[in-house]
Amino acid sequence: MMISRRHFFKTGSAAGCLFMLGKTGLAAQKSATSGSDRNLVEARYYEKQPNRKIKCVLCPRECMIDDLERGYCGVRENRNGIYYTLVYGKPCTAHIDPIEKKPLFHFLPGSEAFSFATAGCNVFCKFCQNWEISQARPEQVQSFDLPPRQAAQIAAEKKCASISYTYSEPVIFTEYMYDCAVEGRSRNVKSVMVTNGYIQAKPMQDLCQVLHSVKVDLKAFTERFYKELVSGQLRPVLDTLVLLRKMNMWTEIVYLVIPGQNDDPRELEQMCRWIYKELGPGVPVHFSRFYPQYRLTNLPATPVQTLNKARKIGLDNGLNFVYTGNVPGDPGENTYCPKCKATVIRRIGFSVTEMNLKNGTCSRCNEKIPGIWS
């Protein structure tokens, strides 16, 4: 049975939000009141307005919020003219994942990432695979206490090379992510942001001081798609990608190819040309397979040949590292040397089965392969 968004919010159902980190042995304190006063932390990106109103300047929406109201994301609230985040230190799901699941293919391949998310998101993707938490408010999910220091400690104890802020949208828990990344650095644990890129320049610049890598979901290359299927805008995401390039932040792009919506070869070619010109040929681009879910169950899964065509368009337009995703065993999962064409990293799904890298170079021809390898 398909549960409507209205019914979901009314019942507070959150079947997918339980703490699933049995592998760590962490005894987390669960709570259904993550918006309680004791968890309030003042937000860092807002401007005070007359009559106790505030203007949020975290993301491009720039919500104008009256007293006792929340922004679009549902996790930041104005209380007497002071803006608070309601999800600081209150994730609703956590796992240890292979870094390839994010996916990041040029960042510590074969390593694991301590991954978690809070409720909330600043867009509304009709194809969201984690809608149970992204489209929920904090009081509608079962959360647990996980302060930044403890998050970094768990990652280090479990020998995770990184912490990944993922699953929902980390932009909306920016303060928590920033502080976790700071704590991670003190324990030699890197930080990875998995994001829609829908964020203002200032908070992104601040995050770049503590993060090590960012994976951006570029949903499409038309404003029509962003308006109708994301409830957002394309331009701010492109601006974020350019900013990340200027900040020398290691960035990879994922493009979920949805049949009949963003799979036009002309759109893909236009996007690949833009990436080559604005970001350079070394930025990895992942064309991932769509499976019907949430509000787009009427569409078929992406044909594998469509992904292969998209990959060819990227390569033909000068991009050196173009991948296919959600197709385990496809040759497009592997990393190839752009010079000698040797297989540098062989993958099956989320597993690395062969590594032919030597100090960040192809072991056959010594061509430098861009990425973070240690």
Mean pLDDT of the chain: 92
Residues 297 and 372 in one domain: no
Residues 107 and 218 in one domain: yes
Band (pLDDT 50/70/90 cuts) for residue 35 is: very low
Per-residue pLDDT tens over the stretch 149-193: 999 999 999 999 999 999 999 999 999 999 999 999 999 999 999
Residues 145 and 162 in one domain: yes
Answer whether residue 101 is part of any domain: yes
We report the CATH number of the domain holding residue 284 as 3.20.20.70
Answer whether residue 223 is part of any domain: yes
Residue 114, pLDDT above cutoff 60: yes
Residues 257 and 199 in one domain: yes
Residues 366 and 247 in one domain: no
Assess contact for 70 and 78: CB atoms under 8 A: yes
Assess contact for 28 and 144: CB atoms under 8 A: yes
Tokens of 368: 């430098």
pTM above 0.95, yes or no: no
Residues 117 and 261 in one domain: yes
Residues 291 and 350 in one domain: no
DSSP letter at 106 equals S
Per-residue pLDDT tens over the stretch 117-136: 999 999 999 999 999 999 99
Give the side-chain half-sphere CA count within 13 A for 27: 0
**Cα 137 from Cα 224, distance rounded (Å):** 27
Residues 281 and 343 in one domain: no
Answer whether residue 68 is part of any domain: no
Structurally, the chain folds into a number of domains equal to 2
Answer whether residue 81 is part of any domain: no
Answer whether residue 18 is part of any domain: no
Assess contact for 309 and 265: CB atoms under 8 A: yes
Helix, strand, or coil (residue 41): strand
Answer whether residue 344 is part of any domain: yes
- Please report the pLDDT score of residue 28 as a whole number: 41
Residues 317 and 232 in one domain: yes
Higher per-residue confidence, 7 vs 365: 365
Q: Give the domain extent around 98.
A: 91-333
Band (pLDDT 50/70/90 cuts) for residue 37 is: low
Residue 266, pLDDT above cutoff 80: yes
Q: Is the dihedral of CA 259, 265, 268, 270 positive or negative?
A: negative
Per-residue pLDDT tens over the stretch 194-237: 999 999 999 999 999 999 999 999 999 999 999 999 999 999 99
